[in-house]
Amino acid sequence: MFMVGALQIQAYRALKKEVYLDRGLMQLLAYAKALQEQYGLFQHTANIPVFWGRANGWAAAAMTLTLENMPKENKKREELMAVYKKMMSALQKYQGTNGLWHQVLIDPASFEETSCTAMFTYAMATGVKNGWLDESFRATAVKGWNGLLQKTQKGQLSDVCVGTGEGKNYDYYLDRPREKGNFHGQASLLWAATAMLQLYE
């Protein structure tokens, strides 16, 4: 959702050609139809019903970026907004006590994973700033940000899951290595920081 969706919306921003926006929306909504479960979270792939944190982070980030940069009058906007809001409401329920979300979102026994936490913080802070989400999500975003601060030393974010393809079993996700300073986390930490600054401008 992110690798294609983000590229299409950036092409639309740069060139103002509707074809890029249409492609991005078609792809995001198709993935939502295939992978978003009733309570709002996305399973990793059509074959793997595991709610992997960063897979959901990619979905949240792509939808947020698209919603923020598409015309309000676009006929697909409300459909995408409904998918986004359903996801945000589900995520709010699964945030851990330290403000972080888990490697497998519905499994509090799985490790606290920071790249997905940063992307969810970005998505929620942006949603509150733009009036898409109610004020309860401000507290959720702040809690996420504070959790990220506890995992950041000298600009390096720890407990970032390494690159992860489709796993063959549940333990594959639980046993993924974690790194400090992995770019999957560093980039999303910057998105979260920017969104939090903009939220309090």
Structure confidence by residue, pLDDT tens digits, 107-119: 999 999 999 999 9
Q: Which residues pair with 152 in a beta bridge?
A: 157
Three-state secondary-structure class, residue 132: coil
Q: Which helix (H) or strand (E) holds 25?
A: helix 18-35
Q: Which two tokens stand for residue 103?
A: 């490697």
Q: Which two tokens stand for residue 56?
A: 């959901």
Query: Domains in the chain, start-ordered, CATH in brackets?
Result: 2-199 (1.50.10.10)
Structure confidence by residue, pLDDT tens digits, 68-92: 999 999 999 999 999 999 999 999 9
pTM: 0.97
Q: Which two tokens stand for residue 158?
A: 């720890």
Overall size of the chain counted in residues: 201
Rounded Cα gap, residues 24 and 40, in angstroms:
20
Q: What is the mean pLDDT of residues 2-27?
A: 96
